[in-house]
């Protein structure tokens, strides 16, 4: 299987240093310094120099899972624009494909599907970069990147060297990893082990199975799985569209809360999933709606998406302060109604709820 390197290594950002231009929310104030890196060595040099000078660094690639305060970020902002997808290992059943951290995630998924590689097809349409996926342990429709990642190559700012980190060292959890809320590591490349197959991994997610006319555990053609996921996501405003304000978001703003079985028993009947070790996962969207916050519930220039209750959106004239005010109202309302705490999924930069 041939290597496939992107032909856009010299992508440059638009003029100006207002960080709203680099996030899917289209919110965020100015950067102290804004630097673009198209090669890993450039990115390492920027981070190393900033660390030596004692200056904080914020790394942005797709900007799809970050909320930046209206005051911006006073330090060094590194725009990671590295590109590249290539096969680095192969056996009769699978290949290991390395994606540069700045590679657009959905382009990587499209590459896998086109080349008959199974394992990430249900993660189609997720915005952002390949390098961001291990940070968040991105997941959707029954798949997580932790299922296929075999190594993350990262610059360790403390050791001053590039490390190859195993899945165990990455510390993957539900929307979590050792990289999240931790500026020690700069992710450079991610290695995925993908099955050589024209069919999807076994379908696990009930909504996707229904849309496919399949049963849980069935496998379907890769292209069909990808197309169906893209349609499902688009219907929820979860595929970026500059003309659709419902997509001006970070996707799901809150994670699904996980509670003990004792807490769940006291809540009464509601949708839920087993989370292992005596824990139960609850649907945040269901809790939000039942607490009195329907789709379209609005704040000042911001609102819950008209398509998906978990997405908080900038309607075009919003601010980060207004978005976080809306998030607090929702969080507090759910706590008052159910006694369950919601936690934000995106990384909050120079702001808090």
Q: Is-contact 261 280, C-beta < 8 A?
A: yes
DSSP bridge pairs for 151: 191
- Residues annotated as part of the active site: 175, 252, 345
Q: Which of 296, 294, 286 is nearest to 340 (CA)?
A: 286
H/E stretch holding 286 reads: helix 284-290
Look at strands 347-349 and 66-68 and give their pairing: parallel
What mean pLDDT is predicted for residues 211-228?
Answer: 97
What mean pLDDT is predicted for residues 33-40?
Answer: 96
What mean pLDDT is predicted for residues 187-207?
Answer: 97
Query: pLDDT tens digits, residue range 44-67?
Result: 999 999 989 999 999 999 999 999
**Cα-Cα-Cα-Cα dihedral sign, residues 297, 133, 99, 129:** positive
Please state, for a pLDDT cut of 90, what percent of the chain lies above it.
92
- HSE at residue 51, side-chain half, CA atoms within 13 A, is 16
DSSP bridge pairs for 165: 152
Query: C-alpha dihedral over 342, 343, 348, 352, to 10 degrees?
Result: 60
Which letter, b or e, does each residue of 181-210 get, where b requires 16 or more Cβ atoms within 10 Å of its Cβ? eeeebbbbbbbbbbbebebbbebebeebbe
| CA–CA gap between residue 326 and residue 299 (Å, rounded) | 6
What mean pLDDT is predicted for residues 206-217?
Answer: 96
- Which pLDDT value is given to residue 16? 56
């Amino acid at each position: 299987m041939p290597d496939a390197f992107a032909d856009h290594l010299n992508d440059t950002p638009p003029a100006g240093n207002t960080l709203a231009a680099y996030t899917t929310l289209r919110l965020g104030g100015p950067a102290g310094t804004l630097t673009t890196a198209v090669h890993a060595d450039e990115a390492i040099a920027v981070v190393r120099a900033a660390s030596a000078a004692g200056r904080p660094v914020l790394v942005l690639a797709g900007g799809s899972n970050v909320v930046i305060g209206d005051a911006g970020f006073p330090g060094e902002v590194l725009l990671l624009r590295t590109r590249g997808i290539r096969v680095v290992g192969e056996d009769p059943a699978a290949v290991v494909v390395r994606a540069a951290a700045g590679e657009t995630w959905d382009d990587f998924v499209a590459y896998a599907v086109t080349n008959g590689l199974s394992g990430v097809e249900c993660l189609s349409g997720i915005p952002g970069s390949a390098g961001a996926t291990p940070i968040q342990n991105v997941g959707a429709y029954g798949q997580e990147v932790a299922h296929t990642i075999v190594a993350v190559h990262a610059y360790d700012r403390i050791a001053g060297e590039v490390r190859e980190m195993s899945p165990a060292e990455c510390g993957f959890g539900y929307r979590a990893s050792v990289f999240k809320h931790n500026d020690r590591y700069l992710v450079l490349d991610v290695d995925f082990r993908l099955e050589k197959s024209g069919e999807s991994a076994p379908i696990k997610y009930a909504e996707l199975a229904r849309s496919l006319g399949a049963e849980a555990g069935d496998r379907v053609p890769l292209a069909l799985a990808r197309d169906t996921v893209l349609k499902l996501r688009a219907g929820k405003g979860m595929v970026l569209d500059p003309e659709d304000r419902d997509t001006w978001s970070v996707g799901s703003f809150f994670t699904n809360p996980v509670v003990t079985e004792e807490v769940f028993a006291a809540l009464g009947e509601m949708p839920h999933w087993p989370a292992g070790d005596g824990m139960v996962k609850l649907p945040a969207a269901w809790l939000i709606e039942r607490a009195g916050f329907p789709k379209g519930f609005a704040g000042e220039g911001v609102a819950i998406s008209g398509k998906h209750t978990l997405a908080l959106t900038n309607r075009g004239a919003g601010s980060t302060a207004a978005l976080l005010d809306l998030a607090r109202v929702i969080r507090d309302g759910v706590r008052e109604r159910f006694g369950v705490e919601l936690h934000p999924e995106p990384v909050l930069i120079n702001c808090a709820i």
